[in-house]
Amino acid sequence: MQGSSGWRLQRWLPELAMLAALLVLPFAFDRWFGSVDLFTRILIWGIFGLGFDLLFGRTGLLSFGQGAFYGTGGFVTAYLLTSNTLDNVWLAMAIGIAAAAVFSVVVGFLALRRVGIYFAMITLAFGELSYFLENSPLANWTGGENGLPGVPAPSIAVGSFKYNFAGSWSGYQLVAGFFFVGFMFARFIVNSPVGAVLTAIRQNPLRTAALGHDVGAYKLAVFVLAAIFAGCGGVLLGIFQSYMPPDAFALDTSGQLVIQTVIGGAGTLIGPTVGAAIWLTLRDLLQQVSAIGDLWKFILGLVFVLLVTFMPNGVVGTIVRLWSRFRPRATHAAIVAAHPDGAVAREALLAPLPTASARGAAPSAFALEARDIRKAYGGIRAVDGVSLALLDGCFHAIIGPNGAGKSTFLRLLKREEAADSGRILLHGVDITAADVTAAYQYGLAKSYQINQLFPQLTVRQNLRIGALGRHRGRLRLDIFRAADSFPKVEKVIAALLDELGLTTCADLTVNTLPYGEKRRLELGLALASRPSVLLLDEPLAGLSPAEREGVKQLIRNLRKGRTVVLVEHDMDAVFELAEQITVLHEGRKLAEGTPKQIANDPLVKEAYLGGAAMP
């Protein structure tokens, strides 16, 4: 989809459909269920779920403690209003939501240090701690196990027109209004560069960081966003039923959120709402069937198990999947026609970006300098005092037998790991203490030995993650623009696709591609930031001879103006491409020089090349 931002109908179709649903469905609920209340409750869970879907569905962070923020928002607002501290309901609502956000900063700061099941456990623990706080020490404010009844509803007063949101239909209007705004907001996030980064984090957090995005900061941002939605849900719950229940904090509530999201489909934004609709209507309906009686919960559990087993993507997810199978794809001609062509234009687009030299740092003749780098793992000294100085624009290869420390050295250069001692300078700037994201921002990029791609994104989307990193910086919360709305970035992506020969498969998902294409994309990701220093870790690994020629040519094309460090086992390629070669052996530099010097070096021949003279 070219340029799908702006006022195109396709972009706004979901919002329009949602608006229509919110206008029409309440009447259906009123007719079939006797009142609109059930729908209002579904929407409250829906708001809660929008935030959770951003956190879990999009970013992959499974939290079992969202109830903590749901409850915080609701109770702060309920307390302010029932204790007559505040009269203005809207203000109390805002404070409640803000309180949930503040609380989430604290929890997120502690919890996000961990991933996976550890993260889930920390959030569970925080949820339980919040429940305990509500029940016991803070019972004087929260009402303990009684909760806070009597929460008033907000009203609008403009001139002589006064409207109070209490009651069944007005309550629906209030909640539906918030839901719609929340939905629009969530859609903005999903379509924005932030949304793209979050999706990337879920699929490959390490690569996302290596491509210049501050993963920790983005995670905290989405955690706080999820808490804001949760707090909003809690606030509306208390107002709608005029009662703030203590079980908002319970593990049951957080668990029900997860259940509903999985049933509905994670990653679809409305999955949690649909899941809530299924769960709540089933629960009501089953209880009303007298033949079932006390077994209603058993049947609910059974239905749930069946849904999880046979619809792994949830209801909405399954529908989305079926839909995307039948969606028309842009033709090759259309794609080619839409993009600028010409090698000159491409070259300009892909040339390295000017490096930002630090204030006061002396300009250096060396693009990359490593001084006496050491790294040991336990008793093994992987890198034992290696120094390297690369002139600007040179092509330098590092070779050596397995275990010589080449890959480790490259990882240290790229700041993926910290060296035990030594210094690394990039264009004169000391980056020894910088993290991998900062290194990328300074213009240092790496292509990996084992493909580190984003398997469920398209080729184009993969490249976009790389290009956006340098363009936007470590962290930017530009929620209100579309991910593909940077014209310069899109041009660079188009040029890259052309250069890599990936234009025809630009909109295919990576996990459907053959190995050769994936390898080229791997290279492309490193190039997307237009780095000035490029580290290539065995770029030819696993490729057939024909494919190798292609990649070698690619490297030749793209090395103009760049400093390249190449680690390879393919000696033909090394001697063809490199201007300088360093040989590592057991963590130390064995020899260094031009290819001809290295080929004739007796030490090198003995250790690595096998004794025969090289061409």
Partner 1 sequence: MPTLPQFLSQAFNGIALGSLLALIASGLSIILGTLGVLNFAHGAMFMLGAYAGFVVLSHFDSFALALALGALMLLLVGFATERGLIRFYYRRPPEDQILVTFGLGIMMVEAVRYIFGPLSQRVPLPSWGQGIVDFGFFLYPLYRVEVIGFVAVLLLGFYILLYRTRIGLVVRAGIEDPLMVELLGTHVRRMFLVVFCMGSMAAGIAGVVYAPLAAVIPNMGESFLVQCFVVVVIGGLGSFPGAVVGGIIVGEILSVTTLFDPAYAQAAIYAVMTLVLIVRPRGLFGTMGRL
Partner 2 sequence: MSRTPSDRNSKSAIGKTAVSRRTLMQAGLGVTAAGLLLRETALPAFAANYPALGTFPAGTSGSSIFIGGVMPLTGPYSSSGKDMQLGFELAVDHLNNGSRVTDAIPTLKKGKGVLGQKIQSQVADSETKPDVAIQAATRFIHDNNAIMLTGGISSAVSIAMQKLGQREHVIYMVGNSGSNDTTGKDCQRYGFRAQPSAYMAAKALAPVLAKELGKNLKAAYLVPDYTYGHSVYDSMKEFTEQVGWKTVGEQLAPLGTTDFSSYLLNIANSGADVFLNVAFGADAVTSTKQAQQFGILSKMKYVVPNISQFQAKELGADIMGGTYGTQAWWWTEEDKFPLAKFFVEDFEKKNSYKPRWGASEIYIQMLVWADAVERAGTFYPVEVIKALESGHKVNSIYGEVYYRAGDHQMVRPVPVVVGKKPNEMKGPEDFYRIVDLVPGEQVLPPLGQTGCKMPDIGA
Give the footprint of partner 2 on this chain (CB under 8 A): 30, 33-35, 37-38, 41, 132, 135-136, 139, 143-147, 149-150, 168, 237, 241-243, 245-248, 250, 252, 284, 287-288, 294, 296-297
Which of partner 2, partner 1, none lies near 284, with the C-beta cut-off 5 to 8 A by kind?
Answer: partner 2
Q: How far apart are CA 221 and CA 61, in angstroms?
A: 12
| C-beta of 49 vs 245, nearer to partner 2 | 245
Given 90, 118, 480, 515, the residue binding partner 1 (CB under 8 A): 118
Q: Which of residues 418-447 bind partner 1 (CB under 8 A)?
A: none
- Taken as a whole, the chain contains a residue count of 615
Residue 228 Cβ, how far from partner 1 at the closest point, in Å?
23
Q: How far apart are CA 149 and CA 137, in angstroms?
A: 19
Q: How far apart are CA 481 and CA 457, in angstroms?
A: 20
| C-beta of 241 vs 452, nearer to partner 2 | 241
Q: Which residues contact 477 (CB under 8 A, 6 or more apart)?
A: 194, 221
Residue 297 Cβ, how far from partner 2 at the closest point, in Å?
5
How far CA 237 is from CA of 241, 394, 596, in Å, comes to 6, 64, 76
Q: Could you tell me if 440 and 206 are in contact, meaning their C-beta atoms sit under 8 angstroms apart?
A: no
The two structure tokens encoding residue 128: 């339980």
Which of partner 2, partner 1, none lies near 117, with the C-beta cut-off 5 to 8 A by kind?
Answer: partner 1
Q: How far apart are CA 320 and CA 314, in angstroms?
A: 10
Which of partner 1, partner 2, none lies near 23, with the C-beta cut-off 5 to 8 A by kind?
Answer: none
Which of partner 1, partner 2, none lies near 248, with the C-beta cut-off 5 to 8 A by kind?
Answer: partner 2
Which of partner 2, partner 1, none lies near 147, with the C-beta cut-off 5 to 8 A by kind?
Answer: partner 2
How does DSSP classify residue 509? Answer: B
The two structure tokens encoding residue 182: 């929340």
Q: Could you tell me if 72 and 100 are in contact, meaning their C-beta atoms sit under 8 angstroms apart?
A: yes
Q: How far apart are CA 322 and CA 318, in angstroms?
A: 6
Which of partner 2, partner 1, none lies near 163, with the C-beta cut-off 5 to 8 A by kind?
Answer: none
Which of partner 1, partner 2, none lies near 246, with the C-beta cut-off 5 to 8 A by kind?
Answer: partner 2
Given 3, 116, 167, 473, the residue binding partner 1 (CB under 8 A): 116
Q: Could you tell me if 263 and 275 are in contact, meaning their C-beta atoms sit under 8 angstroms apart?
A: yes
Does 110 contact partner 1 by CB under 8 A? Answer: yes
Q: Which of residues 123-162 bind partner 1 (CB under 8 A)?
A: 124-126, 128-129, 132-133, 136
Given 21, 25, 98, 121, the residue binding partner 1 (CB under 8 A): 121
Residue 294 Cβ, how far from partner 2 at the closest point, in Å?
6
The two structure tokens encoding residue 174: 């209030």
| C-beta of 74 vs 271, nearer to partner 2 | 74
Q: Could you tell me if 524 and 502 are in contact, meaning their C-beta atoms sit under 8 angstroms apart?
A: yes
Q: Could you tell me if 71 and 96 are in contact, meaning their C-beta atoms sit under 8 angstroms apart?
A: no
Q: Alpha carbon 462 to chain centroid distance? A: 12
| C-beta of 245 vs 275, nearer to partner 2 | 245
Q: What is the DSSP string of 45-104?
A: HHHHHHHHIIIIIIT----S-THHHHHHHHHHHHHHHHTTS---HHHHHHHHHHHHHHHH
| C-beta of 145 vs 549, nearer to partner 2 | 145
Residue 580 Cβ, how far from partner 1 at the closest point, in Å?
39
The radius of gyration of the chain from alpha carbons, rounded to an integer in Å, stands at 29
| C-beta of 140 vs 324, nearer to partner 2 | 140
Binding mask 299-338 for partner 1 (x = CB under 8 A): -xxx-xx--xx--x--------------------------
Q: Which stretch binds partner 1 (CB under 8 A): 117-125, 337-345, 491-499, 514-522?
A: 117-125
Which of partner 2, partner 1, none lies near 341, with the C-beta cut-off 5 to 8 A by kind?
Answer: none
The two structure tokens encoding residue 426: 């990039």
Q: Which of residues 219-258 bind partner 1 (CB under 8 A)?
A: 251, 255, 258
Q: Could you tell me if 426 and 413 are in contact, meaning their C-beta atoms sit under 8 angstroms apart?
A: no
Residue 114, by phi and psi: left (phi above 0), alpha (psi -120 to 50) or beta? beta
Does 295 contact partner 1 by CB under 8 A? Answer: yes
Q: Which of residues 269-288 bind partner 1 (CB under 8 A)?
A: none
Which of helix, strand or coil describes residue 165? coil
| C-beta of 241 vs 509, nearer to partner 2 | 241
How far CA 207 is from CA of 201, 270, 446, in Å, comes to 8, 29, 10
524-562 exposure pattern, b = at least 16 Cβ within 10 A, e = fewer: bbbbbbbbbbbbbbbbbbebeeebbebbbebbeebbeeb
Q: How far apart are CA 123 and CA 549, in angstroms?
A: 51
Q: How far apart are CA 237 and CA 72, in angstroms?
A: 12
Which of partner 2, partner 1, none lies near 149, with the C-beta cut-off 5 to 8 A by kind?
Answer: partner 2
Residue 438 Cβ, how far from partner 1 at the closest point, in Å?
25
Q: Alpha carbon 518 to chain centroid distance? A: 20
Residue 90 Cβ, how far from partner 1 at the closest point, in Å?
34
| C-beta of 8 vs 113, nearer to partner 1 | 113
| C-beta of 142 vs 532, nearer to partner 2 | 142
Residue 38 Cβ, how far from partner 2 at the closest point, in Å?
7
Residue type, 476: R
| Residue from 221, 292, 250 nearest 478 by CA | 221
- Dihedral (CA of 502, 506, 512, 518) sign: positive
Residue 161 Cβ, how far from partner 2 at the closest point, in Å?
24
Which of partner 2, partner 1, none lies near 94, with the C-beta cut-off 5 to 8 A by kind?
Answer: none
Residue 266 Cβ, how far from partner 1 at the closest point, in Å?
8
Residue 283 Cβ, how far from partner 2 at the closest point, in Å?
9
Does 262 contact partner 1 by CB under 8 A? Answer: yes
Q: Could you tell me if 318 and 262 are in contact, meaning their C-beta atoms sit under 8 angstroms apart?
A: no
Does 259 contact partner 1 by CB under 8 A? Answer: yes
Q: How far apart are CA 238 and CA 73, in angstroms?
A: 9
Provide the greatest CA pair distance for the chain: 98
Does 298 contact partner 1 by CB under 8 A? Answer: yes
| C-beta of 171 vs 405, nearer to partner 2 | 171
Which of partner 2, partner 1, none lies near 315, with the C-beta cut-off 5 to 8 A by kind?
Answer: none
The site for partner 1 (CB under 8 A) is made up of 56, 62, 110, 113-114, 116-118, 121-122, 124-126, 128-129, 132-133, 136, 251, 255, 258-259, 262, 266, 294-295, 297-298, 300-302, 304-305, 308-309, 312
